[in-house]
Every structure is written in C-alpha cells, then in structure tokens.
Amino acid sequence: MMKRLNVGPNRFPVFKIARSKCLTLSGVRAGVALFLSCFYVLGMAQTGVAWPNKPVTLIVPNSAGGPSDLLARLVASKLSESIKVPVLVDNRPSNNGIIAVEYVAKNAPSNGTVLLVSNSGTQTVNPSLYQKLPYDAQRDFAPITEAIASGLVAVALPSFAPNSIRELVAFAKKNPHHLSFAIAGATGEIGVNLFEKQARIEALNINYKGGTPAVFAVMSGDAHINLANLSTVSQLVEGGKLKIIGVTSAKRDPLLPNVPTFAENDLEGYELEIWYGFHAPAKTSSAMAMAYQKEIARILQLTEIKDKLSAGGYTIVSSTPEAFEKRIQADLIKFRRIIIDSKMPLQ
C-alpha cells in the first residue's frame, strides 16, 4: 500500500511504499505511475497549462550558426529539462526566412508543440518590404517573448581613415558618392538608408547574399563599411583585421564601452536594433503562451545562458507578450517610414 507523507508549501507530495514480504514489480510500477501523475498535475497547477506530452520543435528561419540558431539551441536544452519532453531545433533557411515563417503560420499545430524563433526581420521588416507575403506577421502568430536584442556595429578596414561615425560623415561629404556600404539583407539596408538620411549624405549601397560575403567585401576593399552583428566580426576585430567605428543601438554595447553610438556622433535619435524572440501559431491559447514566456524568461536568466549570449553582444530582454507586441508595432511603423522615405524598392 501507499502512504502519503506531509506536504508543505511549494513542495511536491512524497510517497513511500510500505514494506511487505512480497513487493511485486507491478506494485512498484503502480507506485511510480502514481508519483508521476501527481508530479504532472501539480506542474499543471503551477503553470496553469498542461505542457505538451510529445516533442516540441523550435523552427529557426535561418541556417545553423547564426544568432537565431544560438538562441534556439541554448533555450531548447534547458526547456527540455523543465517540461520533460525533447525540444528539437529545426533550421529552415530561406530568403528572409519566409518559408519557415509560412510553415508555422499555416501548418503548425496550435497545441504548444511548435514555436517559431522569430526575429525583427521576419516580423517587422518583411511586412514593411514585401507587397505580398504568404503570412500575416500579426494575425497568424501569438507573441510569446522578445528574448534578446542588439545593435549592429559599423566595421571597416584598419587602414580606412575615419575612426568614428562623425569622421565617416565628414569623409562622405568631402568625397560625394564615394563612400560605399556592403549590405546584407533588408535590415542592413534600412540601417544604411536611415544613416544617409540623418547625415544628409549619399553613398553607394552594394548588396550581397549574406552577412559573410558582405564582411569579406570590406576586408577585400570592395566596400568601405558593413553593418554587422558583433558576434559575426568579433574574432576579426580581435585579430586586427577589422575595426569598429560605431554601434547602431541607442546605448553603447557593454562589450564595447569605448565605442560611441551613432546618436553620440551628431545623429540624434538614430537607433537600429535587431531582436530575436519566440512566437506561437495564432490559435495557441494565451495560457500556453504565458507558460512558455515564464519558462523562457527563467532560462534566459540562468548564469550559463546569460554569459553565452552576452559574449555575443546580445542584451537579455525576456519581455511579456504584451510588451513584445508593442515593440513589433513600433518597429513596423518605424521601418515602413524609412522604406518609404528612402524609396527602397518593394519586393
């Protein structure tokens, strides 16, 4: 027989199997089953939702090795431990992440077994840039949390004369139509166009298929400047092959305390940040979305996770679904205005 021991606040009930002369295997199995069922019920009570009882998949709209992939894999390992089912990472790279996002919008179940590792490009830039998308970035998704954010860094060859954004503006005005930017993706182009508008300069924008080719273009002298993720260029900077002359975020990067922001260099109000977060299919219950938000927020505050993300230049955000939705709305307005003002061609 089973005897229940005392249960205090925030503690799981503990059971013991009474000693008998003949403890059968079936009795042990029954005891274990009862314990697990109580554990599961109390877990439901604490989160307000029943976690999926089969594997969860995190859909990443980018190749392995990038910021989205890093975030997904760090969260997946800890999330699997806490919800007691495997959490898999499924990379589905495509042009601006459209294929992966469309899959989650149209084909993923809304029972909490599939989440999208979203980013500012898929949820705010694409809707502003594409005249027709196979998904609605707001209607088709339930926001869970903005997880991390960072600015971009302006990198150049060490031999390039300007050492700050202020000096870069002066160089551009002294050499009209000479300054060139290696651009990878719409977000980078938006950042450059915003810079040109506020600095009142005209530069040459050269588009490349991916961040790595754009960085190599600067290293080979085919372009002067690239706006890159710090994690992409940190080793090149440390090795003396590139230098950083500014950061696009509103505040200085904690890893680059001596590098001023664009706004500090006479471009008041200039700010461009990229963010990464989590969305669920639209019909996912608010209780499930909030349960994931709380658990992901907890994971992001773990020391080992914070250290790895901070080392890449990312700030931990872990916002509520409501705050995340406000961020998305603000970015949609901002990016649409920049795209219209700079006359970027719509896709």
Domain containing residue 322: CATH number? 3.40.190.150
In a domain, 37, yes or no: yes
Token match 């870069």: residue? 168
In a domain, 74, yes or no: yes
Domain match, 137 and 99 both: yes
Considering only 160-174, 182-196, 288-302, which range has the smallest mean pLDDT? 182-196
Question: Over the stretch 273-298, which tens digit does the pLDDT of each residue have?
Answer: 999 999 999 999 999 999 999 999 99
Domain tally, the chain = 3
Domain match, 177 and 320 both: no
What range does the domain containing 43 cover?
2-47
Q: How far apart are CA 121 and CA 185, in angstroms?
A: 9
Domain match, 260 and 209 both: yes
Taking residue 173's Cβ as centre, other Cβ atoms within 10 Å add up to 13
Average pLDDT (74-91) is 96
Do 292 and 144 form a contact (C-beta atoms < 8 A)? Answer: yes
In a domain, 208, yes or no: yes
Residue 212 confidence class, pLDDT cut points 50, 70, 90:
confident
Residue 219, pLDDT above cutoff 90 = yes
- The DSSP secondary structure of 199-267, one letter per residue, reads HT---EEEEESSHHHHHHHHHTTS-SEEEE-HHHHHHHHHTTS-EEEEE-SSS--TT-TTS-BSGGGT-
Domain match, 158 and 252 both: yes
Domain match, 251 and 285 both: no
Average pLDDT (100-122) is 95
Residue 271, pLDDT above cutoff 60 = yes
Residue 199, pLDDT above cutoff 60 = yes
Report the CATH number that the domain containing residue 255 is assigned in CATH: 3.40.190.10
Average pLDDT (168-190) is 92
Domain match, 282 and 336 both: yes
Average pLDDT (97-124) is 94
Burial (Cβ within 10 Å: 0-12, 13-18, ≥19) of residue 147: buried
Instruction: From 265, 298, 333, give the residue that closes a domain.
Output: 265
Average pLDDT (108-137) is 94
Instruction: From 218, 242, 265, give the residue that closes a domain.
Output: 265
The residues, ordered by sequence, that sit 6+ positions from 112 with a Cβ below 8 Å of its Cβ are 49, 51, 52, 56, 280, 284, 288, 292
| pTM listed for this prediction | 0.80
Instruction: From 265, 295, 324, give the residue that closes a domain.
Output: 265
Domain match, 248 and 211 both: yes
In a domain, 270, yes or no: no
Which long-range contacts (C-beta less than 8 Å, at least 24 apart) are formed by 121-125?
A: 121/96, 121/97, 121/185, 121/186, 121/187, 121/274, 122/61, 122/96, 122/97, 122/98, 123/279, 123/328, 124/328, 124/331, 124/332, 124/335, 125/96, 125/186, 125/187, 125/190, 125/335
In a domain, 347, yes or no: no
